[in-house]
Structure 1
Amino acid sequence: MKQIPLNKGGQPAISEGRRKKYLLSLRLDAEHYFKLKSLVRTSGHGTAEVLRQLIAAGRVRERLRREHLDFMSQLKGMARNLNQ
């Protein structure tokens, strides 16, 4: 008899604790809506991810932009010159 393999490949199953199965419906007034939209715009994340970060940590961190990376590389160059 031919055996059928149990593992067919593909993406592994997500554990029950990590599965996003709860849906949140939220009504906002104009002031809070535009505040949320500004957080989304400055952070570079989606609305759902911004809300998850606010719930988990109470803050939303902005992604590093190209300008920030340029400043960091200049700062590293200055630090190297000081060390010499």
Structure 2
Amino acid sequence: MQHSKHTGGRPPLSKARKQEYRITLRLDTEHKLRLQALARTAGRPRTEVLRQLIAVGRVRERLRREHLDFMSQLKGMARNLNQ
């Protein structure tokens, strides 16, 4: 009688699908309540909502010094047009 090494069950996850990294996040009360409301309306846990926001969400970068200079020039041209 031979005994098999594998006794059944779920196959092991690949390295890419394994969720092994942990990130600590600090939120103020307003952001925590917003996250809870998003999770409640989506019917998913907060961690899954954050994963989806990371995967699909969009974060805009801050304005750089060049952008601010360009915006001030644009404001000056708009003022001249209004006069």
TM-score normalised by the shorter chain: which range applies?
A: 0.5 to 0.7
Superposed CA RMSD: 1.6
Listed as ranges, the matches of 1:24-43 within 5 Å are: 24-43=23-42
TM-score by length of 2: 0.62
Aligned residues: 58
Q: In the aligned structure 2, how far is the partner of 1:40 from the partner of 1:5?
A: 44
Unaligned runs of 5+ in 1: 60-84
Listed as ranges, the matches of 1:1-84 within 5 Å are: 3-58=2-57
Q: In the aligned structure 1, how far is the partner of 2:3 from the partner of 2:37?
A: 53
Runs of 4+ with deviation above 3 angstroms: none
Amino acid in structure 2 at the alignment position of 1:29: D
Q: In the aligned structure 1, how far is the partner of 2:34 from the partner of 2:17?
A: 29
Please report how far the alpha carbon of residue 4 of structure 1 lies from its aligned counterpart in structure 2 after TM superposition. 3.6
Unaligned runs of 5+ in 2: 59-83
TM-score by length of 1: 0.62
Q: Which of the pair has more CA radius of gyration? A: 2
